[in-house]
Homo-oligomer: A and B are copies of this chain.
Amino acid sequence: MIIDCHGHYTTAPKALEGWRAAQVKALDGRSPPPGPHPAMTDDELRESLEKSQLRLQRERGTDLTLFSPRAMAMSHHLGDARTSEDWTRLCNDTIHRVCTLYPRNFAPVCQLPQSPGVAPANCIPELVRCVEELGFVGCNLNPDPSGGHWKDPPLTDRWWYPLYEKMVELDVPAMVHVSASCNPCFHATGAHYINGDTTAFMQFLTSTLFKDFPTLRFVIPHGGGAVPYHWGRYRGMALDMKLPPLTEHLLGNVFFDTCVYHQPGIDLLLEVIPVENILFASEMVGAVRGVDPDTGFHFDDTKRYIDRAPGLSDTDRARIYEGNARRVYPRLKLPA
């Protein structure tokens, strides 16, 4: 079985973003409130998936996607906590419907109702609702709810601890995932996403977070940002700081996905990061949609890179495709 741990619902029916646009417009206080959550038929949901994610799963030979709301659209920086709660609930309910329609193809991962300057403890009720009532298996955690201004404390600050306590209690991991950038310095998918990954890793490295939460687990997406490419730098910095080796210090709690869109990048990832810490992912349908003219295949068809990676045993490949995801997401109950 091949589990893709990183897929977003980037192809949702227009009614979803229409409702969001009305919600955001109403923030000016002069436009009408957005009204009840939009009615989307099961057929509309099916259609939005059959031509894209489901078709790609079939074509590429992957089985199950851990599916979460569109990351760019989380946009926690818009409005306030109430805005974020309402939008998040709609997004998570939509994911729940998708996973109920296609339980063999999708397992649900939730967005959290974060808001800049609002304590992450505020996200606990929605996390509990999603996990306990709706069967979600993980969440996405935005390390920068301000959208490129990085105004909240680092992920290792006690500010975040109540949420971590609940994650540990529920035994769900978080994928560390920023959202849109409202800072013109940062292109969202080209800079802010990758920077968010690198930033979070370095926050973890310089902290004792995993002493406080030995079973807390984070997946860093996009192949860990810049981290594997600079693995020597990080190993060296940890040594200079008299920290334990990174394998001991972090890799019981921190995992990387395989959203790296060329063979040399995947080969590097597999060479420097222990296989136990790598989870297969493609982020499809996501940041890069085209076909690589050098290979004739989609850039984000990451399964091809894993299949072709030199020196990877079948056992290790199976860990990356399935075993590690089952370990990191223990609530994932796979249909027979």
Residue A260 CB within 8 A of the other chain: yes
Q: Is the pair B261, A272 in contact by a Cβ cutoff of 8 Å?
A: no
- Interface residue ranges, A against B (CB under 8 Å): 143-144, 148-150, 152-154, 183-187, 189-191, 194-195, 198-199, 201-203, 205-206, 222-223, 225-226, 228-237, 239-240, 260-262, 264-265, 267-268, 271-272, 287-290, 292-293, 299-300
Q: Is the pair B231, A229 in contact by a Cβ cutoff of 8 Å?
A: no
Q: Is the pair B230, A260 in contact by a Cβ cutoff of 8 Å?
A: yes
Copies of this protein chain in the complex: 2
Residues of B near A264 (CB, < 8 A) are 231, 268, 271-272
Q: Is the pair B185, A195 in contact by a Cβ cutoff of 8 Å?
A: no
Known: A226-B229, A230-B223. A154 touches B190 (CB 8 A): no
Instruction: Add 20 more A-B contacts to A154-B184, A194-B198 (CB < 8 A).
Output: A150-B186, A187-B202, A189-B237, A190-B237, A191-B203, A194-B230, A195-B198, A195-B199, A222-B230, A229-B268, A231-B264, A232-B265, A232-B288, A233-B287, A233-B299, A237-B288, A240-B288, A240-B290, A265-B268, A267-B268
Chain B residue nearest to A185 in the complex (CB): B150
Report the bound CA distance from A175 to B236 in whole Å: 24
Q: Is the pair B236, A292 in contact by a Cβ cutoff of 8 Å?
A: yes
Can you offer 19 A-B residue contacts whose CB atoms are under 8 A? A143-B185, A144-B185, A153-B184, A153-B185, A189-B237, A190-B205, A191-B198, A191-B202, A195-B195, A222-B233, A229-B268, A232-B265, A232-B288, A233-B261, A237-B287, A239-B290, A239-B293, A264-B271, A267-B268
Q: In the complex, which of the residues A260, A271, A288, A289 has the most CB atoms of chain B within 10 Å of its own CB atom?
A: A288
Q: Can you list the 7 inter-chain pairs with the closest CB atoms, starting with the nearest?
A: A232-B262, A232-B261, A226-B226, A236-B288, A229-B229, A236-B299, A190-B202
Q: Is the pair A230, B290 in contact by a Cβ cutoff of 8 Å?
A: no
Residues of B near A232 (CB, < 8 A) are 260-262, 265, 288, 292, 299
Residues of B near A235 (CB, < 8 A) are 262, 292, 299
Q: In the complex, which of the residues A202, A222, A239 has the most CB atoms of chain B within 10 Å of its own CB atom?
A: A202
Report the bound CA distance from A86 to B202 in whole Å: 33
Report the bound CA distance from A240 to B190 in whole Å: 12
Report the bound CA distance from A195 to B187 in whole Å: 12
